[in-house]
């Protein structure tokens, strides 16, 4: 077996950002290798672009159930109901339901409102002069947008955010306590979602919660529990990811002043710059699949039931796919990165929304804050899953 001595569940490997040198070494020497996990059988890590695409596009061989996170949940009650952990045919039906709220036409129609939110946040930040890019901007934009789309009252969005933080971005060293607290946060969030549901049952609202409540899957409505779980997925996925694209993207511009100047002089490059930020940052670093039969990946035998983890971060730095992959190039084309997944049925539902939010934010930020500069070191989230930044002090020079 291609066993390695590295432990990718050891979060201290990620304190300075993703271990890109290690990923390069793995791509070159052991592109499919076996890693340990605490209290579990371990997993196969897949590091090359082509292999990540291969796994992602063959859902019959590589299933999403029982979970797309490395460790199996202690209690599968909630996990098995999450869209992201499901396989056809149930996944196909549920995905169709939410797709309706995320068509490119619907997302593009949000542009004026998203711009209004961005301008409000930038005005506020400008008045402060010095501010925290994460706390004052990167967190607020995606949260305000997804809360409104789902149907969370504006003044209650921070409460919901506090729950998503406890589930996705808690990097305390006592991981057992983190897991226990996440369970409590889930319970509290479901109780809150139940209240929102109760106020809508007979309504004809247009928010996603109302749409889910009216949904019909083969003649049956979704149960209250199923709607609660959807609510949780949309709020978590909508607010815990795009914020790190915004922060990581801004940091990349600070670290590459020549690319920032090029972008400021050519705003037409923004769409390709956003794609490059997605590749560069890769806010979601991996997802897992489970092999459904004995098979091979790049010549390595994998047994039915084995866990297979696609390292998007590594695939996005693969020189075989991206010439000069270690260079941040705001004009890079083509740029078929896998930050939203590598194709297949689970491709990120919110990709167009995340792109829209980032494009408008950077359009306005570059135009209104040309003198924005870093005022301190970023504080990184200690995680092997979310490439996160918890704080980034900035100021207007």
Q: What angle do CA 166, 172, 173 make, to 5 degrees?
A: 145
Q: Which is nearer to ligand HEM, 284 or 309 (CB)?
A: 284
User: For residues 330 and 346, what is the distance between their CA atoms, to the nearest angstrom?
Assistant: 27
Rounded to the nearest whole angstrom, what is the least distance from the CB of residue 34 to ligand HEM in the complex? 22
> Torsions phi, psi of 374, nearest 5?
-70, 140
At a CB cut-off of 8 Å and minimum separation 6, what does 106 contact?
A: none
Residue nearest to ligand HEM (CB): 350
DSSP string covering 176-243, please?
HHHHHHHHHHHHHHHHHHHHHHHTTTT----SHHHHHHH--BTTBPPPHHHHHHHHHHHHHHHHSSHH
Binding mask 198-237 for ligand HEM (x = CB under 6 A): -----------------------------------xx--x
Report in angstroms the alpha-carbon separations of 212 from 32, 55, 200, 209.
40, 31, 11, 5
Rounded to the nearest whole angstrom, what is the least distance from the CB of residue 240 to ligand HEM in the complex? 9
Return the residue of 284, 309, 330, 372 that touches ligand HEM, per CB under 6 A: 284
Are the C-beta atoms of residues 133 and 392 closer than 8 Å to each other?
yes
Q: Identify the three-state secondary structure at position 172.
A: coil
Rounded to the nearest whole angstrom, what is the least distance from the CB of residue 242 to ligand HEM in the complex? 4
Binding mask 313-342 for ligand HEM (x = CB under 6 A): --------------------------xxx-
Q: Which is nearer to ligand HEM, 83 or 366 (CB)?
A: 83
Does residue 161 touch ligand HEM according to CB under 6 A?
Answer: no
The upper half-sphere exposure of residue 68, i.e. CA atoms within 13 Å in the direction of its Cβ, equals 22
Binding mask 85-124 for ligand HEM (x = CB under 6 A): ----------x-----------------------------
Contact residues for ligand HEM, defined by CB under 6 A: 56, 83-84, 95, 146, 233-234, 237-238, 241-242, 245, 283-284, 287, 339-341, 344, 346-350, 353-354
């Amino acid at each position: 077996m291609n066993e390695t001595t590295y432990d990718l569940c050891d979060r201290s490997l990620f304190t300075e950002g993703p271990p890109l040198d290690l990923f390069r070494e793995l791509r070159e020497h052991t592109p499919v290798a076996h890693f340990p996990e605490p209290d579990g059988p371990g997993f196969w890590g897949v590091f090359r672009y082509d292999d990540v695409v291969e796994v992602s596009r063959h859902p019959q061989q590589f299933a999403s159930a029982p979970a797309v996170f490395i460790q199996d949940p202690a209690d599968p009650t909630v996990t098995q109901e999450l869209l992201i952990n499901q396989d056809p045919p149930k996944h196909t039906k549920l995905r169709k339901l939410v797709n309706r709220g995320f068509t490119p036409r619907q997302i593009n129609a949000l542009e004026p409102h998203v711009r209004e939110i961005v301008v409000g946040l930038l005005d506020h930040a400008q008045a402060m002069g010095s501010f925290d890019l994460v706390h004052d901007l990167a967190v607020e934009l995606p949260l305000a947008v997804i809360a409104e789309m789902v149907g969370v009252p504006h003044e209650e969005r921070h409460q919901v955010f506090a729950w998503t933080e406890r589930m996705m971005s808690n990097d305390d060293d006592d991981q057992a306590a983190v897991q226990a607290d996440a369970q409590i946060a889930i319970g509290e969030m479901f109780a809150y979602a139940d209240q929102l549901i109760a106020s809508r049952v007979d309504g004809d609202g247009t928010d996603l919660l109302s749409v889910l409540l009216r949904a019909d899957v083969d003649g049956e409505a979704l149960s209250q529990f199923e709607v609660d779980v959807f609510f949780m997925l949309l709020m978590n996925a909508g607010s815990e990811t795009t914020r790190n694209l915004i922060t990581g993207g801004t940091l990349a511009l600070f670290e590459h002043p020549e690319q920032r100047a090029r972008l400021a002089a050519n705003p037409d490059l923004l769409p390709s710059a956003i794609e490059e930020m997605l590749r560069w940052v890769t806010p979601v670093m991996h997802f897992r699949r489970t092999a459904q039969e004995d098979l091979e990946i790049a010549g390595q035998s994998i047994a039915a039931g084995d866990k297979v983890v696609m390292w998007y971060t590594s695939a996005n730095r693969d020189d075989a796919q991206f010439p000069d992959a270690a260079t941040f190039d705001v004009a890079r084309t083509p740029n078929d990165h896998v930050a939203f997944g590598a194709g297949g049925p689970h491709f990120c539902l919110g990709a167009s929304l995340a792109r829209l939010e980032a494009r408008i934010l950077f359009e306005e930020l570059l135009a209104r804050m040309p003198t924005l500069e870093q005022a301190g070191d970023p504080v990184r989230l200690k995680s092997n899953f979310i490439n996160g930044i918890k704080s980034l002090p900035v100021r207007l020079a």
